[in-house]
């Protein structure tokens, strides 16, 4: 047994050795060239440089806009309105659709997945139908959605619900199914009943998987909302992109894409942070 006192002592010694070593390292050119921050700078400079150069040489004709033109376009979009909405309005229009569609899907799919995993009769009834519907890409539903709901908000929300439903349900189902069965034994040995097994083991143990499902769903939701908006919309980031295409203005298309990437990235960051807060017991895995 290691007592806490000795562990801290040894680790602090290790830290000291580490520090000394790193301080003693002399500057060398090869190490500087292999430094990650330096490489990141090189990479980004090259990326934007080539982008600018492609625009400059007109290899792609008028099919591309230089990075500075895109930034200028974003600035312009932020300060004036398109189709009655500012850039913030369009961002909110897309986000709002995602929030509604995503919530509907999560509220139905997660409990359904949990119940399917816990009750084999429900599973036997729902799973075959789910397996029939699962392989349809969300995009394939757009036509149906338009036939059923017209081209207004409901059809876009429907697409998001359909697209996020599958990963939500699958992850909830697998999360419950992959629980170590002996954890249930612990509850039974401590005198718990079936309800305690589900409340004390089922939900908390499946929580990381359910959450992972929500994360996947969220990135699906962005694809879905964009697809729906590309097909028909009067607002949203997809609308900006498609407007740019119809007006043959690549700067506007790229501006839409950059803003979209940023917002999608921010939502992902938000939900990752939320996960860290909600399940502090989850250990780090190799991720990218």
Partner 1 sequence: MAYETVKVDTPLVLRILPVASVVAFFGIWQGVVDFGIVPNTMLASPTQVAVLFWEKLFVADPDGAVLSVHAWVSIQEAFTGFFLSLLVGIPLGLMMGWFNVAEGLARPIFELIRPIPPVAWIPLTIFWFGIGIPGKVFIIWLSGIVPCVINSYVGVRMTSPTLIQMARTYGATDWEIFKKICIPSALPMVFGAMTISQAYCWTTLVGAEYLAADQGLGYLITMGRRLASPPMVVLGMICVGLTGVAIGIVIERLEKKLLAGIRR
Partner 2 sequence: METSQEYKIDCQHISKTFVQKGTQRVHVLEDISVNVKNNEFLVILGPGQSGKSTLLRIIAGLETPSEGNVYLDGKEVSGPGADRGLVFQSYMLFPWKTVLGNVELGPKLRGISKNERREVAQHYIDLVGLKGFENHYPHQLSGGMKQRVGIARAYSNNPELMLLDEPFGQLDAQTRYFMEKETARIWETEKRTVLFVTNNIEEAIFLGDRILSLQGKLPGRMHAMYEVHLPRPREHTEMKFLELRQKITDASELTL
Binding partner of 38, given partner 1, partner 2, none, CB within 5-8 angstroms per partner class: partner 1
| Beta-carbon count within 10 A of 89 CB | 14
**Which of the ranges 15-23, 43-51, 138-146, 187-195 carries the binding residues for partner 2, by CB under 8 A?**
187-195
**Which of the ranges 7-15, 19-27, 145-153, 194-202 carries the binding residues for partner 1, by CB under 8 A?**
145-153
Among 19, 31, 134, 188, binds partner 2 (CB under 8 A): 188
3 state DSSP class of 62: coil
Binding partner of 47, given partner 1, partner 2, none, CB within 5-8 angstroms per partner class: partner 1
Closest CA to 230 of 148, 138, 168: 138
3 state DSSP class of 234: coil
The answer to whether 83 and 234 are in contact (CB under 8 A) is yes
How far from the centroid of its chain's Cα atoms is residue 66's Cα?
28
**Which of the ranges 77-85, 111-119, 171-179, 193-201 carries the binding residues for partner 2, by CB under 8 A?**
193-201
Among 100, 198, 230, 271, binds partner 1 (CB under 8 A): 230
Taking CB under 8 A as the criterion, which residues in 48-87 touch partner 1?
60-64
Q: What is the total count of residues that contact partner 2 (CB under 8 A)?
A: 24
Sign of the C-alpha dihedral, residues 68, 72, 74, 75? positive
As measured in angstroms, the least distance from the Cβ of 132 to partner 2 is 26
Alpha carbon distance 194, 188 (integer Å): 8
Cα–Cα distances (Å) from 111 to 104, 107, 168, 175, 199, in that order, read 12, 7, 10, 12, 13
Q: Which is nearer to partner 1, 86 or 268 (CB)?
A: 268
Interface residues with partner 2 (CB under 8 A)?
A: 1-2, 4, 180, 182-183, 185-192, 196, 200-201, 204-205, 207, 279-281, 283
């Amino acid at each position: 047994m290691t007592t806490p006192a000795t562990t801290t002592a040894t680790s602090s010694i290790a830290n000291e050795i580490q520090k000394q070593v790193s301080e003693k390292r002399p500057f060398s050119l090869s190490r500087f060239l292999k430094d990650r921050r330096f490489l990141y700078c090189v990479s980004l400079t090259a990326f934007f440089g080539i982008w600018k150069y492609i625009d400059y040489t007109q290899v792609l004709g008028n099919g591309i806009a230089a990075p500075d033109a895109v930034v200028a376009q974003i600035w312009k979009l932020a300060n004036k309105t398109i189709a009655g909405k500012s850039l913030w309005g369009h961002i909110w229009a897309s986000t709002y659709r995602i929030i509604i569609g995503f919530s509907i899907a999560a509220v139905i799919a997660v409990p359904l997945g949990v119940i399917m995993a816990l009750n084999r009769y429900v599973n036997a009834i729902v799973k075959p139908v789910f397996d029939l519907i699962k392989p349809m890409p969300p995009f394939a539903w757009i036509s149906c959605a338009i036939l059923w709901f017209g081209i207004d908000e409901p059809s876009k929300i429907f697409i998001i619900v359909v697209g996020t439903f599958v990963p939500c349900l699958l992850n909830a189902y697998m999360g419950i199914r992959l629980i170590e069965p002996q954890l249930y034994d612990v509850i039974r040995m401590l005198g718990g009943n079936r309800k305690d097994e589900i409340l004390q083991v089922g939900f908390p143990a499946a929580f990381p998987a359910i959450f992972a499902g929500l994360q996947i769903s969220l990135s699906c939701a962005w694809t879905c909302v964009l697809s729906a908006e590309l097909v028909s919309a009067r607002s949203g980031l997809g609308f900006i992109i498609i407007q740019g295409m119809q007006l043959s203005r690549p700067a506007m298309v790229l501006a839409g894409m950059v803003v979209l990437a940023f917002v999608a990235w921010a939502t992902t960051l938000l939900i990752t942070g939320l996960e860290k807060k909600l399940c502090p017991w989850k250990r780090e895995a190799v991720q990218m």
